[in-house]
Every structure is written in structure tokens, then in C-alpha cells.
Structure 1
Amino acid sequence: MDKPLKIYSASAGSGKTYTLVKTYLELILKGDAQPLNFSKIIAMTFTNKAALEMKTRIISALDNLSNPERVPENTEKAKKYLADISKDFGMKPEEVQKKAQIALTHILHQYEDFYVMTIDKFNLRLIRSFAMDLNLDANFKVIIDETEITQRVTEDFLNEIDDQFTSVLSKLFVQLAEEKMSDGENWNFERELSDYLKILGKEEAIELLNQTDEETYSSETFNLIKLQIRHLDQKIEENAEQFLDKIQPVVDDIDDKRKKNSIVGLIEKLKANKSRISSEMKMPLTEAQIRYMENNELPEHIVNILTDFYTKHLELIAQTEQLNRVKKSFHYIRLLKKIHDRLQEFRQTEQIIRISEFNRMISDLLKNESSPFIYEKLGTRFNHFLLDEFQDTSRLQWQNIVPLVHEALSQQYQNLIVGDPKQSIYRFRGGVADQFVALPAVYNPKNEASLKEISGYFEKMGIREDLGDNYRSSKEIVEFNNLFFTELVKFIRQEKEIDYTSYYDSIVQNPKSEKKGYIELISLKEKARSAGDEDSEEENSSENIRFLISRVEECIRDGYEKGDICVLGDTARLCNEYAIALSQKGYKVVSSDSLAVDSDQAVKLCIIYLSWRNQPSNELAAKRFAEKFLSIRFPEDATRLYMSYMNERPAFNEESGPVSYFNTRQFVNDYFESWENFHFPFENLYALLERFYQISGLNELENPYLHHLSDLAFNYDLNNGPDLNTFLDFYAKTGKNSSIQTPENKDAVKIMTAHKSKGLEFKIVIIPQLNNNFLKNKAKYLIQLDEHLSYTTLSQKVLSPKLKNNYTEEYTAGLLDKLNLYYVAFTRPIDRLYVMNYIKSNSSVAFGPIFHEFLQTPVFESHTAEKEIIGKEREFFRFQFGERVTNPASFQANEANNFVPENVSDKLWFPSISLKNHLEDIDESIEEQRRYGRQLHYILSELEHFNDSTEAIEILQKKGLIEKAFSERLLQDIQHITSSKMYEELHQGKKQVINEQSIIISESEVKRPDKIIVKDNETIVLDFKTGLKTGKDLKQIKNYCEILEQMDFPNVRGIVLYTQELEFIEV
């Protein structure tokens, strides 16, 4: 009997998705399988994009099987697919066709029961099913961007610090400040706390925080740690004094004059620095002195004295080092635990869930529940689980699914897990490749008894199989990767004593393609210049850029289209450099990573303009605008033109000379007709930008960066209103880093990060720089040091065994991350792979030096095309595999047909279709909540224009202003609000209701309250809020009230209505 749990190790290009789709078809078509069984199958993957692809592939497969002749140009391929599936399933083609027709019909008519989704979406469904058990409202919100929530809770928390510093929090803050001052450190509390707050979004860090005992973070404990450090410092000084007492009388026993002088120098150094030895002299002996000691190059009794001193000193320093790390983080960890507890309270009061909490909440909820109970709550029973990209699944995600898979296996239902530990590149999101390596056993690093029994059962019911063929790449590329990564893993094991064999045991693949391929590797190592050389980084970059440009040109000469080429970078910053370099050479580029909106000069001009409009009297903003405007419009003459507006006026102090100033009004009049034309009134941010484009001669239709900026403004208007100040703040924090999305076509080179390339394929891949760090400089990690936590940097130079072990673990994991990332990158190409490795310095945490040394092993001797070694100044290697084949098959992808508008009316809709939607990967359920909130807000503002709420919804739905799917829920919520006692009282005696009327405050500021209810002796300003409560809500309504009072409205009252809680708050 076949085992019900199949595990496929699917290397790159091995037909993983094909296998998943075939398994799905088998469960609904093969033999006695029923087509209606599709609702009992759930396929889960890692991203929305992958889930959509899998859905599309399943539907497409069923369509081809159902009616292979439906699409004439695809008939032969569809008939062959039907024949292959029929043969594999042991069925007649007409049987398969009939079952496929039934399955496709039912899936399309019951699409909500077609379960192909991300693990996060499945978890969200679980949480909604258990909302009552979690004390959550059924309509709770999910927060994807956690920063705003965390900052808001932190601000509210820190506002509790009282002037007298009497509360627990106040005392904690004072202790933190005093500690920083006593250590003589520069202190930016806000920045440091912000750094620590990042911990709260990490699954493994939350687990450590939850395990930490509150009592271990008392003031008494902190004082005890400081006392221990002082005692250790004293012991270090005493050890030095004892050494001096022993060594000074016998130093003349050393015959070798040079060695004697060295030890005398050590004595003098210790005597001169005795008071600072504990804090400053981590390593008291020089390399030479250590060599004398270890090689017994001194008299035996002196070697013993040195050894005793040195050994004890290192032991004491190691203890001090560890305690100092704990001490430095102590108050922040204590504060972090309190903020974490407050976040849990906030979740209950505000009915929100941060996305990072999903897995932990479900784990806590389900660990003691049986599968039948879970299914009862879920409302659906799944018999078959198909899990894709398993290597990127977090430990908690897998543990949460284990009970359900266990239940399915116990009923002998077929289940499938597909993954590849070599492509595990999302450890920073919690992915654990070891879980896949352990399969069919359940990964159990803590040896939990509850998992042990289940693990044994999974081992009994499961079987592993490698998908050993490669259908993507040419023979030469497959064979190159087989050789390269097999030998590289051996090299790392030999040179670094790190064994990655378990992750790369299925590296060798069988190439199925008949195409010819070509690989070129270049590694250039040059002697690093002095630290003060400012040009070294620029030259480093220029070597990579030269390589990139020359290889793009080479491919085009060989007959490839620009759209056949994909450039891969390690980071979005590198991708941006590549995009700018190619653009400057006249190449069109397509990228989701590289084209940051803020990299465009016209966008920079717009943001400077908005900043000036936000502060019209700011003379510096006016100068910055003039400089940028003139540099764009007149690059050759900008300085002269700018200086022509510099005038002089007398100083206030007659003794001083005249003062120069920039004639802003003259500049504006010359280039923008008039001051009034430049400082025009506006109703919303989108309109403000569109008008500015007109008066400044910017063309949004020719510049996708400007279009993207307008998109940002439009979406901000919808979600937050036309507040220029807060928009600029949003842009500075997050908006400027968003990238424009452009459609693919054969005339544009693709650019993306290696992470984004996973699952994709390209004819040509160019990697301009391989020498990237696998451990970030100054990156901090939350680590356990005995009973305390420390959020600290890691280094190989530490002496503490625990810190050294933490560094080794992170080094090993980081190097594997980078190795896997390059495996993903090297396996994307079909025809050609170009790689450049340029090294300026021998960093111990960079991949480049490892790659460079590896290329000098005998494995590559027969492939050496060029070699140049000039002492230590320069080492250059170039390797070639395969042959360059010119005139490849023409580009097959559909060219993007960008519409170019001719009429003014066309411009109204052109931008929305000319560029891809940059929000396509946002979780559907989150976006749905936002849309619903906006539509509820709109109806409440417009309600007075209709006889009742039913009529309002009917008419607005017909006009397309609200969605049909929301109509019933909207009607219930509106009736609930309008029938409330408070709402009715607010409208009693009303003479006039003013809805969303613009109030022009100045040339640059417009206010628009949702509703103003005017009575004989009273005015009520009513503002609707469909989202979370924020501090700015009350400030905003208060501001409205002050404006209306200045306009002589009688007795103005301001009220905010939070629609979710039906809570009226008066300011």
C-alpha cells in the first residue's frame, strides 16, 4: 500500500508546479476519485502571487482536459496533455475528459470552495473562526504595517511619564537616562527605542520575550549586575598586580634581548594603565608575546607566569563582556516587555491583530485542541493538504498545521509536501529549512514530548522522493550548477568546517533541454586602498557597471532582445544603481525593486514644492525649489540664473554691510506668471499635484515616476484626507521608497532582486556583483545570555563562550542564506549566465572572498579563459563554460501595448492602465476592509440627500459608488448608527446640514469637515471615523471647531463618531 504522505524534494526547474497540479488532478479525476472532492483539498503556498499561479494552472489544466480543441492554436498541446494524463491515471481519454468537465463546472460555480491560498490567509481564516475564543469581534482588523500601531502604543505608554518621576515607568526612564550618562554615551532615546521595537515583529524574538521572567528585570537585579561587573573589574586589576609581582623579579632571566624588551614593555604598559586595564585592555598581550608563550620560547617559569595571567585575564574579560551586554540592554528589554503587554491590551480594546501575531495566537489556541473540534469551528473538513514552498514555512506555521495533516493521514488520505532546502531564502521571515530536511519526521529541536509521538507516526506514513530532472535550463547551465554547488559545498566544509551537505544532498539534476548554454564567471580582487580614499567605493561600483553594460551589449549583438535579459542584485539599492546606469545608456528598464519614486529629479522637485506650500514663509524651502527647478529646466545655466535673483538690502544694524537675499516673488513671477498662479487653492493632494504639473511644464504621461507620485497622493487622499503636512511625513518615512511598476515588453531589460526572481526564468541572467555581505554590519540580534536577554551586535572577536557561540550560529546561518540565494540566482537562466565578483577588501563576512578562493581550486582549471596575477595588487580570473550561440529564437512574450492618449478626455483614464498596480500583492481581506470603510464614510456624509438609507444604497450602488457585495452590511451598519439615540439627538432641531464643504483657510490650506449640523443656537461638527482611533482625530475636530467659531457660527461643538464601536466622543 502506498504511503499517504509524499515529500518531493524539488530542485530549481524540476517541474514542481506541474507535479502539484498533477497531484491535484489525481485527487479529483483518477479512478474512483470524485470531481466534487475539490472542496476537500487545500493547497497552500508562500505568497499571493504563487497562490494565484497555482489556481490558474489548475483551472487551465482542467480546461485543456475538458475541451482540448477549444483554442485552435493550443489543440495539439492540449490533446497530448490529455493523452499523457490518461496514460498516467490508467484511464480512457473520454473518461478523463468527462470528469474534468464536471470538476471545472463545479469549481467555477462554487469558486469559494476552491481552496488554494497562502498559509497566512489560512491562518486568518482560523483566527476568524476562533474570534470568540480570542475575545475578538468578528470584524476585527488585521494590521500588515505594524510600525504605526507599535509607535502609537509606545507614544501613549511614554506619555504616562509624570513630571515628578514617581510612577514605575518614570523611574525606569530615569534609570535608563542615568545609566547612559554614567557610561558617557551619546543618547538618542527615540532612535534606540525604535531600534528595539523592531523585535516585536519577529516570531522567534516574541517567544524569547514571553519566556523571560518579569522578576529577573527588577531594579535590584540590575544593581546586582553592576556590582558583579565592579567585582570582576577588581579581579582583573588584582590579576594584573599579581602578574607584575611575579614577573618583575624574574624578567632578567630572559636571555634573548628582543624578547626581554617585549616583556619589559608589557610590564610598563600594565603599570601605566593599571586603573584602565579592566575596561580598555581586552587583549593585554601582543601577537608576538602570545607566540613566545605558546611556543615555549621563554624560560619555563616565565611561560607559566604569562600563561596563568593571560588565561585568567581572558576568563574574567569574557564574564565582564557578557554582563556588560546584558547591562546595556537591561532597561530597554524591561521597557519592551511592558510595551509588549500593552500591545496585547490594545489588541483587545481596538479589535486588531498584528500580522506577526497570527502564528503565535493560533499555536496557543490549538495546542490542546483536537482536529475534529478545529474542523467544527472552521466549518470545513479537509482531507488532502498540498503544501508548497515548505522550506520557507516557519516553525509555528508548520506546528499549527500538523494536527490537521495528522488527522488526514490517520484516514489514509493522500497528502503532499513540496520544497527545496537549497532555495530557503526567507529565514528573516521565520522560514526554517531544517523542517524540510527533517521530513517525514516532524522537526523537533526542543525535543517536545507531544511532537515526538506525532513525528514517529509521520515517519511511518511518509516517503521522500527527488524530482531529479531539469526542464528549464540548457544542458551546460544544469551541468555547471551541478558541478559548481557540489564542489562549493565541499570547499566550505573543508575551509570553513561548516557542513551544508544535508541541504544540498539532491543537487545533481538531469538536463532535459537540448539547447546550448553559456556561462561566464569573472572574479577580480584588487588591493584595498587606504580607509580615507573616497573614490574606492565609486570605483568598486563602476567595475560592476562596466561589466553589466558590456554584457548587455554582447547579448544584443548576439541577437537577443533586451526583454530576454534579467539583471539580478542583492538589494533594492544595488538594483537602483543598475537601473540608473542602464537608463543613462539609453536602455529601457522594467523593475519592481529598482525604480524608487524618489530617484527621479522631477519627483524631487514636486516634493520640494509641496514642502514650500506647507510652509509658505520658509525662505530656505523657496531657495531649494528655485535651485532644483532651474537645474532641471536649464542644467547648463542654472547657477547663473539662480544668482540673478540674489539681491541686497540694508541690514537692521547700520554698522553692518548689506544683506543678500533671494528675490522669491520675482522668480515666481518670471516662471509661473504670478504669485497667485503659483500658490493656487486646492481641494485635495491629487489635484494639487496635477495643477503643479501643468504650471511647471511636467508631463505625467511621459514620466511614470510622476504618475506613481500622483497614485501615492490619490490613495493618501482616500485613506487620510488632504492633509499636506501628514502626507509629507508619510512620504519621508515610507512613500519615497516605493517603486514604480512598468509593463514588461521586449524592449526593456528586467531588473530585480534575487529574492524576487525565485520561481521565475529568463533567457539571460546577469549578476554584476557577487561580493555581498552575509552578515549585516552593526546588525543586532536578540540572544539569550543565561537568564537575561541582550539585543546586541555579534562579532568573532568576542571572548564570552556564549557570545562566540551565538556569532558562530549566525555566521553559519547567514552564509547558508547567501549560498541559497545564489543557488536561486544561478538557476534562473535558460541560455546564459554572467557573473562578476569584484573584491576591494577581504571582509570576513562577505561571500566574494570565498567565491574567489573557490575558483582557484583544480575544479575550474580546464575552464580558465583568462588569468592575471600581479602579486598582492591584482588577481583576475575569467572562466567560461559552454559556447555562445548567436541568433536565438525570437522573443515570444507578449509585447506591452501602452496606450498613448491623444484627447484630453483620454488622459482621465490612461494612468490607471499604463502601469501595473503596485498594490497587487496586498492581502485581499485587508484591502476589502479599507474599501468598506471608505464607502460607509461616504454614505454617512451624503445621507441627507436621500429619503432613507435603503434608497441611498440602491441609488449609490446603481451609480457604481458602492459595491453590491457590501450593500447588505452597509444598510445594517447605517441603520444601526442613524437609529442610535445620540445620532437622533444631534439632528434634532437642525436648520441646515452642510456635507463635506471646503473651507479655504489660506492659499495653501483647505479644510473639509464631514458634516456640519446648523441649529438656531448651536452648531455641531460631526466627523466619521471608520478605522482605528488615533490622537490626531480629536485634534482635527478641535481645529474644525476653532475655524467655525472664527466664522461666527454659534456655540460650536465637535463630535467624532467611531462607526465600528458606535462611540461618540465630544471634544
Structure 2
Amino acid sequence: MQKLLSLKASAGSGKTFSLANRYISLLLKGAHPKEIVAITFTNKAAREMEERIINYLRDIKKDENFLKKLVENTGMSEKEIIKKAPIILDKFLKSDIHITTIDSFIQKIARKFSYYGGFDIDFDVRSDNLEAVFREFVDSLNDKEFEELVNFAKNEEKISGFLESLYLIDKEIQSIENGELIIENGELEELKFKIEALKDEILDLMDKCSNQVKDFIKNYEELIFKPRFNSILKNSSIKYKGSHFNKCYSEVLDSKFFEYVEVIKKYLYQKYLLKEAYILKTIFALYEKYKNKKWEVKKKENYLDFKDIEHLVYKILVEDELNKDFLYFRLDSKITHILIDEFQDTSITQWKIISPLVDEIKSGVGQKLFRTFFYVGDTKQAIYRFRGGSSFLFDYVYKSLKPFGMKQESLDTNYRSGEVIVDFVNKVFNLNEKASKDGGYVEIKENKVDEENSSKNYKKYDWRSNLKEVLEFMFEKGVREKDIAILVYNNDDILKVADFIVENFNKKVVTSTTKEIINQESARAVISLMKFLYYKEKGKLFLFEFLTFVGKEFDENFDTQIKEDKPSKMIKEILDKYDLWDEATLKLLIYSMRYDTLIDFVEDIENCDEALSSDIDGINILTIHKSKGLEFENVIVIDRMKKKSNRGIKLLYGYEGIDLKNIRYKQSGMEILDDEYARILKKEEELELKDKENVEYVAFTRAKNSLFILKNEKDSNFVKLQEYDGENILGKFSVEKKEEIKKDNKKFSLEINYYGKQGYKKEKEYKPNEYEAIYKGLAIHSLFEIEDEDYTLNRYGAFCDIKKVKEIYNRAKEYEEYKRLLNGKIYKELPFIAIKEDEKKEGIIDLMIENEEITIIDYKSTKPDDERAYIQQVKFYIDNISKIKNKKTKGFIFYVDSLELKEIK
């Protein structure tokens, strides 16, 4: 077995296969599970790797290729491996295993050495409430600091996010030793005086020059940035073919011009440096204050988040003048093998914490000790630089360890995608990967400019028409909803696509949030009961939610007979007592084991991001970043819907190897004046381009059977696809018929009963996947329908800002244009059924007023970017109601947030 190994694994090439094989090989060669640390990028990946190891060991003969690789890694025969497998499986299941995320691994180090860090071993771990931290930070600023913050905020869309981005690399920032830049104003004035004097001399030499040329000389602040100056620079003279200076050229003028340019450069360089020094000094003064306030809040509330833990461990093991060898010896005494997954996403700080452990392994290699270090990843899939990931570590570590025997291998056979998709990706990204599967289909469609919704400076693209065509095509071919994934660039796009699909196809959609266990009805019911048990009298709404789910009438004196205990014990008792076992509640039970008390569970459970592992019926919609590590039968990738803002404070980071040496403030034109700045800027531009390419690669390589790309005709974010010159349709689309495994979800699909005045169940409709927005909309509808503030408070008060809801409602119901329409017989929440093209259409009309004519009003809490579906819905109501009632019918959409009453004609 190669003891030091770096493995480059392209998309779909069997990365998890290799990790699991390496791990089992170590066990076969005598390593104890507690000596092996396997670090993954996510909790999901850690669980999958653990399950994969167990499954392989349980049936070691099932996968012939896996067994062959074990033979290659261990030098054992197949017979020996098959005989040992049950023994090492038994040891694995009984051992304290360390298959974990990098955050969890560092947290274990923190708890081991908490004394040295000056914090309690039982510290709480939770995410920051960044809004609260930022609020306290702002409150702590004096008038001058507040003014500086406001000035920065004018250029930075989210100043708190900017400060957090600095906190992310805090340990790298602290290593910089920047001296104080001193530039006297007098020096600038002297240079400015010299420029003016030279300008006058030059103008005296330019009698025969045109006014246009003279104006070119006069504006010295912009002279060296003008295109014409590049031509002069290229020719090293003001005289060249086509030059405006040719008619008045003289050698003296030429010489004076370049003397003039050099003084201008010196002046601008000093001026830019002065601005940069002031801005950086101000930024980092504010940042230090923000960081200190952040720590004040943490100390007061006695908690840390994962980034704090990382910083503290770095301080203990890397920065502090302690006996580092002793500390690492204590830590390393039980670690003899390290495996790291998704290495391209490791941060520099994380690597500096782990690297001394790797150094121990490296030093033992020459002594014939059985110690190993293995890392795997793909720099083409490095898409987390904004979170601190440093893809250049991949090759840096390999080169550093190469003299000690490190080898690098590659996996370049794609076992995921059909051959047509692999060949397409090869052509787009100039790769030479192999395919193991036949078939595949690729289609590229261009999103045309949406002229109606575009402006001169901001273009919108009509992706909806193409998406509709693709989905209609798939449904016609018999593709199942759960075999379709739509990938987008950001979370806002998820909501737009989900709205569009539900309104146009009435299909169920699944997002990363809808798959989270805390958003499953059964798990939410259990959480509601746990909250009731904690809040008691004040938590009757939670009891109501629970009883509704289990099909019992609400009884405020209901006795659950569940006594307060460890959360896991309480939840198990609830599941047994009410027979609520399913995948979601089982995962909730497992997750709850991390909490010692009911209060801990109640206060933190909403931060749980554990997701169901099984499929949920519905079209998957997720961001490209969330799709990393996943695969889908049929993938639709939609180009960026909204142009990324260029606003913001931009810092440039200059590295030497893995050490941050310099931070510069981005200023247009500085690259002409400063070679070092130009180098750092060029590097940053290359990294930004690479980020885009990597996101594009990740998106295109999720597809197994078919890939549809909806590309903007201009301003596309698909940078590599713009260079593609092949066909827009490749391969033949086919659908693999799969046997449906029907799940008996009867017990877990009880609908929440609707306790309104009219006593019927409301229609099922898609709401944006964000609870505050969902419940805000429901609460507003409730007030318009029932006009009972107490009912609305009891029903929705725990889930949204009822004060804000009531303000919107009270303002909207007094809106004069709206009140004028309320003259006649009023029907609220009117169930509606009509036949359209032999298909039954159902819905609920929010408000119908009948007199000599009919008026229909459809309430909407907010106005979307695209109203077409809303308009189509109201038109449908108008057409059918006018026929049923034989009366003139008008329809309105009432956007209550903005008090806009829009008539639909």
C-alpha cells in the first residue's frame, strides 16, 4: 500500500469507492478503527462512508472490482480477505470510529486541549445570531466610527457579510506584518506643482497641435488610462502611424511628454497608496471592533461556533508559545492514519492545524512504521473559495510531500454519466475523461432577452419558455418527477422556479429545505410536542399542532404523561406512545442524542439541517453548490437569472505559497502603477474565472441520463460553454423504465385540519419555501377571511411577526380603492371547480362580491418578478364565473404589502 497518496478523482469516477476501499484496506492490514481518522466535507458524506464500509464488509464478494482493489492495496489473496471481513466488521461496529467532518474533528481537538485555550470543556456549539452581533457592534461605535461604517455601507450591499468574510480568514490576516504607510500631503502637493509646470512647458511646445491633442495632455488624472496612451506606450513615442501628434511632433515634445508621464505616475501612485492605506486602516479598525464585540456576545452567552473553535485550536497548536510537540504528541498518540475527502475545499487554517499530524506520519514512513496519509478530491470541483476553501492546497501538499515518497494518482473514468454527456463535458472543458456507460443526451437552449421586463442597463432573460418546453418534453416521454433535478445559481432562483412549476404544471417540488427532517410533518409534530412540554401553558399552540397531526380534538388540559428527561428518551417515548415511527422521526431521535436537556433541544433544534436519505416524490430544485456530491437521472441547468452585483468593498489577497503576505484595496488603474498590485489582481481575476468554470463543471456533471442547459444568449455565466462550437442537440433521449416502490405513508400523511369559520379544508398550494414568508401569507389571508385577530394570533403567532401582519392587514383593509369594491353580497374563500379542456380545475377564490356585476379579488402578500401565473389564474376565474352567473365580471389582484390593486382585463 502506498503510504502517502494524493488521488485526483474527476466527477463520477468513484471517489467514495476509493475512500472506503482505502479504509477497509487499513483495517485488513491490522489498523484499529480508533487509529484511523477519515475527514469528510459534510455530515451526509460521513454517514454515507460509514454505511458504505459496513455494506462492503457484510458482503465482500458482491463487488468484484472492490475486492480486486483490496487485493491490490493489501497484497492479500481474495480468500484471505473474505475470511477476515466478518472479523474486522465486528471490530469496526464495536469500536470508537472517527469518520467525521473537519469541523467535528477540530472540535474534538478543542475539547481535548480546552485548558490550554482557557475555555470550559463543556462549551456549547451553535451558530452565531449575526444580526444580534452586528446590532451590538453598531451600538458600540462612536460618531466617527459610525460615519465611517455608513460610508462603507454605501458601497457594500451587506457590510455584516463583508466583516464575516474577514473573520473567516482571521488567522491568515493576523500573520501579516504591514508597516504604517506614511505619505505627507506636502509630498503630493510638490508632485502636483511639478506636473502643472511640465504641463505648461509641453503646451508651449504644442502650438501646431490641435485643441483635441491639447485637451488630451491637460487632463493628467486620466491621461495614462486612455486607450490612446496605450498606443503611445506600445510605440515608445508620441509619433507613430495614425498618431494625433504627428502634425506637431518634435523630439523635445516627445522627451517632455514622457518626463510628464513619469511624474504623473509617481503622483497617482502616491495618491492611490494614501487612499488604500486610509481605507485598509479604517476597515481593519472596524473589523477588530466587530471581532471583539462578537467575542463579548459569545462569552456572555457561553457558546462557540465552528469557526471560533477552529481559530482557538489554531491559536493553541500553531500560534501560542507552548510545547507544541508535546501537545501534538498527545493528540497523535492514537492517530496513525489520516484520510481526507474533498481536499480541494480545505482551508489554509484547517491545513495548518492538521499538517503537524501529517508531518508525524511522514517522519514515520522512512522508519518503516505503518502510518499513512491519503487525500482525495478534484480541483475542477473547487467551488467553496468564498467559504475559505483553498484549491491550490491540493498540489501544494503533494509537491511538499513528494520528496518524502508522496505519489499522485488519477481517476478519470466516469461511472455516472452516459457517454454522450461525458464526451460533451470533455469538449467543453478540454478534458479526456472516459465513459463506462453508453447513451446519454445533451440539449442546449438559448434564453432570449425578455424585452418587456428588461431595461437599457439591465437585461432579463426568458428562461421560463425553455423550461416549460423541456418539462413538457420530459413528461411526454414518461419521466418521473423525482428523476428530474433543476439546478440554479442562488436560493432566490429556487423560489422563482418552484412558483413557475407549480403554477404551470401543478407538480410537487422538492428543495433542500423540504428534505430536512425538521420540515417533515411527523418530525414537526414531535418537535411541537417537545416545545409544548417545555413552554407548558404558554405553548398551547404547539399542543394544538401536535394533536391536529395525530387526529385528536384539541384539549387544553390534555396530559401527555411524558415526563421531562433527556430529549432522546422523551422522543422515543413519544414515538412509541403515538406510533409515529418513520424515517424522519428516527433521524430526529438520533439527532436529539446530542442534547442533554429539554431547553437545549428546544433552543437549538431549528438549526438542525439533517435531511432524509430516501427519495421524496417531486421535482428537485436546488442550487449548483448544494448539488455537489449528488447525481440525478435528468438535469436541467438554468443560467444565472440575475446579474451578479459588482458593488462591494473589494480586497485582494497576495499569497506566497500558503502564507498570506499582503492585502490590497482594489482600485481601478492601480495595476498600471504598481507591478505587485498587478500580479495580485491578475491572480484574483484568474481565480474568479476558475470559480465560474468549476461551478459550471459541477453543474454539467450531475447528470446520469440527460442534460439540458438553458443558456442566456448574452451575458452568460457559463464561461466555458461560450467557447463550445459543437451541436446543440447530442445523443438520443431515452427513459429507463423503473419499477415504482410504493410506500405506505398513510399513517404519516394526515392533513392538518382547518379550524376556520367555514369548516372545509383549504386547497393544497405551493408556498415559497421559507417559513416566515409562508406563515405571514397564511396569517394575512386568515385576517381577511375570519377577521378574528385572536384566532390568527393563536394559529400563527409562533411562526411569524403578527404585529407586522396586523399592520399590513389594517392598512390594506382601509385602502380606499379596495373599500369601494366591497359593495354587494360578499363570499369569502369560495371553493371553485370548473372544467377546462375536459380537465377539472379546482381552486379557492379569496373574495367575490356580487351585485349587478361580479367582482373577484385575489389577495397576494407580495408582488413577484413575474406575475403571469397570477394573472392567468384570475382570468380563469373571470371567464368561468361570468359564464356561471351570466353577469359582467371583473377581477383584481390585491398586493397587500405594497397596497397595489391591479385590475386584470
Does residue 736 of structure 2 align to residue 888 of structure 1? yes
- The 5-angstrom pairing of residues 764-779 of structure 1 reads 764-769=634-639, 776-778=646-648
Q: Write the distance in 2 (CA, Å) between the matches of 1:685 and 1:779.
A: 48
CA distance in 2, matches of 1:294, 1:13: 59
Give 1:808 deviation, angstroms.
2.2
Structure 1 counterpart of 2:42, one-letter code: T
Please list the CA deviations of residues 503-555 of structure 1 after superposition, one character each: whole Å capped at 9, or x if unmatched: xxxx4222111x31111224567699998549x64x41xx2122122112212
State TM-score, norm by structure 2. 0.64
- Following TM superposition, by how much is the alpha carbon of 1:816 offset from its aligned partner in structure 2, in angstroms? 0.7
1:581: Cα distance to partner? 1.2
Max radius of gyration: which structure?
A: 1
State which of 519, 524, 533 in structure 1 corresponds to 2:442.
519
Residue 211 of structure 1 corresponds to 176
Deviation string for 1:883-940 (max 9, x for gaps)? 233x423267876846465598999xxxxxxx9xx99xxxxxxxxxxxxxxxxxxxxx
Cα distance, 1:369 vs structure 2: 7.4
Task: Determine the C-alpha separation between the residues in 1 that align with 2:646 and 2:451.
Answer: 20
Residue number in structure 2 paired with 1:99: 84
Pairing 1:74-153 to 2, within 5 Å after superposition: 77=62, 95-110=80-95, 113-145=96-128, 147=130, 150-151=133-134
SS in 1 for 2:277: helix
How far does the alpha carbon of each residue in 1:549-590 deviate from its partner, in whole angstroms, 9 at most, with x for none?
A: 211221222232121111111111222222221111122211
Aligned partner of 1:251: which letter?
M
2:208 equivalent among 236, 240, 253:
253
Q: In the alignment, is the contact (CA less than 8 A) between 1:579 and 1:595 conserved in 2? A: no
The answer (yes or no) to whether the contact 2:12–2:414 under 8 Å persists in 1 is yes
Structure-2 residue corresponding to 1:401: 354
Q: Which residue of 2 aligns with 1:59?
A: 54
* 1:474/1:830 contact within 8 Å kept: yes
Measured in 2, the distance between the counterparts of 1:199 and 1:555 equals 42
Partner of 1:570: 489
Compute the displacement of 1:46 (Å): 1.2
Match of 2:707 among 822, 827, 833: 833
Contact 1:363 1:400 in 2 (8 A): yes
Give the structure 2 partner of residue 201 of structure 1: 167
What is the RMSD of the two structures over their aligned residues, measured on CA atoms? 5.0
Asked if the contact 2:482/2:615 (under 8 Å) is kept, the reply is yes
Aligned AA (1:888)? E
**Following superposition of structure 1 onto structure 2, how do residues 610-759 of structure 1 map, counting pairs within 5 Å?**
683-684=538-539, 686-687=541-542, 745=615, 747-759=617-629
- Matched to 1:263, the amino acid is V
Cα distance, 1:766 vs. partner?
A: 0.9
The structure 2 residue matched to 1:428, chosen from 359, 363, 386, is 386
Rounded to whole Å, the distance in 1 between the matches of 2:413 and 2:123 is 47
Q: Aligned in 2, Cα 1:177/1:509: closer, same or farther, shift over 3 Å?
A: closer
What is the identity percentage for the equivalent residue pairs of Structure 1 and Structure 2?
25
1:558 equivalent in structure 2: 477
CA gap 1:820/1:721 in 2 versus in 1, 3 angstroms? closer
**Using the alignment, how far apart are the partners of 1:890 and 1:559 within structure 2?**
11
Structure 2 CA distance for aligned equivalents of residues 353 and 180 of structure 1: 26
Letter paired with 1:105: D
Matched, 1:460 2:404: yes
DSSP 3-state at the match of 1:573: helix
Contact in 2 for aligned 1:745/1:894 (Cα 8 Å) = no
Equivalent positions of 1:412-561 (< 5 A) are: 412-442=370-400, 455=401, 458-486=402-430, 507-513=431-437, 515-523=438-446, 532-533=455-456, 537=459, 539-540=460-461, 543-561=462-480
Determine the C-alpha separation between the residues in 1 that align with 2:258 and 2:79. Answer: 85
Who is 2:7 aligned against? 8
CA contact (8 A) 1:371 1:404 kept: no
In the superposition, the TM-score normalised over structure 1's length comes to: 0.55
1:385 counterpart residue number:
338
CA contact (8 A) 2:428 2:720 kept: no
- How many residues matched? 680
CA distance in 1, matches of 2:156, 2:447: 43
Change (3 A) 1:518 1:905: closer
CA distance in 2, matches of 1:531, 1:904: 42
- Contact 2:313–2:353 (CA<8 Å) still a contact in 1? yes
Q: CA deviation at 1:824?
A: 1.3
- Contact 1:564 1:764 (8 Å CA) reproduced: yes
Residues 209 and 533 of structure 1, relative CA distance in 2, 3 Å threshold: same
Instruction: Measure the CA separation in 2 of the matches of 1:323 and 1:529.
Output: 46
How big is the shift at 1:147?
Answer: 2.2
The residue that corresponds to 1:817 in the other structure is 691
Alignment of 1:276-355 (within 5 A): 281-283=221-223, 287=227, 293=238, 295=240, 296-298=243-245, 299-301=248-250, 302-340=253-291, 352-355=303-306
Write the deviation string for residues 255-279 of structure 1: whole angstroms up to 9, x where unpaired: xxxxx13135457x76xxxxxx7xx
| Alpha-carbon distance between aligned partners in 2 of 1:353 and 1:766, rounded to the nearest angstrom | 40
Hey, what's the Cα distance between the residues in 2 that align with 1:98 and 1:544?
57
- Equivalent residue runs for 1:1-80 within 5 Å: 3-29=2-28, 33-34=29-30, 37-65=32-60, 77=62
Aligned partners of 2:650 and 2:689: how far apart in 1? 17
Residues 330 and 58 (structure 1), Cα distance of their counterparts in 2 relative to 1, 3 Å cut: same
Contact kept, 8 Å, 1:262 with 1:289, in 2: the verdict is no
Q: For residues 135 and 103 of structure 1, what CA distance do their matches in structure 2 show?
A: 40
The offset of 1:319, in angstroms, is 2.7
State the one-letter code of the partner of 2:213. Answer: I
CA distance in 2, matches of 1:685, 1:304: 87
Contact 2:345–2:385 under 8 Å retained in 1 = yes
d(CA) in 2 for partners of 1:1004, 1:582? 30
1:268-320 Cα shifts (integer Å, max 9, x gaps): x76xxxxxx7xxx5458865687574734423334444444345324422331
Q: 2:176 & 2:425 partners in 1: Cα distance?
A: 44
**CA distance change for structure 1 residues 346 and 553 in 2, over 3 Å: closer, same or farther?**
closer
How far apart are residue 832 of structure 1 and its match?
A: 1.1
The SS at the match of 1:472 is: strand
Q: In structure 1, give the amino acid aligned to 2:389.
A: G
**Structure 1: gaps of 5 or more residues:** 69-76, 162-172, 255-259, 271-276, 443-454, 487-506, 597-680, 695-706, 865-878, 908-914, 920-1001, 1007-1067
Runs (5+) with no aligned partner, structure 2: 233-237, 517-535, 550-583, 589-594, 756-765, 771-789, 795-905
1:43–1:115: 8 Å Cα contact kept in structure 2? Answer: yes
Give the whole-Å Cα distance in 2 for the aligned partners of 1:328 and 1:87. Answer: 58
Task: Provide the C-alpha distance between the structure 2 equivalents of 1:143 and 1:740, rounded to a whole number of angstroms.
Answer: 15
Q: Distance in 1 between matches of 2:601 and 2:333?
A: 41
Code of the aligned partner of 1:398: W
